[in-house]
Amino acid sequence: MLKLNIQLFAVPFHRVSKTRKRMRRAHNALTANGTVKCPNCGEAIRPHRVCAKCGYYKGKEVVAVSETEEK
Ligand SMILES: [Zn+2]
């Protein structure tokens, strides 16, 4: 069986240029995922869940939302 001995060494600070560091980190940005727009009211909701703002799911109102909560 092939055994891989990979050791990672710390790269000295000045061996990586500012440009190279920034180019690498250009792909590190976090994106907000796991949200979709409610087809009824447009609010950002989690997929496959009842909208907390309007109480709709699959085009029907399944949970009654009180008037005080609604804007
Ligand atoms: Zn909604």
pLDDT digits (tens, 9 = 90+) for 8-66: 777 777 788 899 999 999 999 887 778 888 888 888 888 888 988 888 888 778 778 77
Domain-wise residue ranges, the chain: 32-71
Q: Is 49 helix (H, G, I), strand (E, B) or coil?
A: coil
Q: Are 37 and 45 contacting, i.e. CB atoms less than 8 angstroms apart?
A: yes
CA of 24 relative to ligand 1 center, distance in Å? 39
Q: Output DSSP code: residue 63.
A: S
CA of 49 relative to ligand 1 center, distance in Å? 10
Q: Is 19 helix (H, G, I), strand (E, B) or coil?
A: helix
CA of 68 relative to ligand 1 center, distance in Å? 16
pTM above 0.75, yes or no: no
CA of 41 relative to ligand 1 center, distance in Å? 4
Q: Are 40 and 53 contacting, i.e. CB atoms less than 8 angstroms apart?
A: no
Angle (CA) 6-10-11 rounded to 5° is 110
Residue 22 has what pLDDT?
Answer: 93
What's the token pair of residue 17? 């240029």
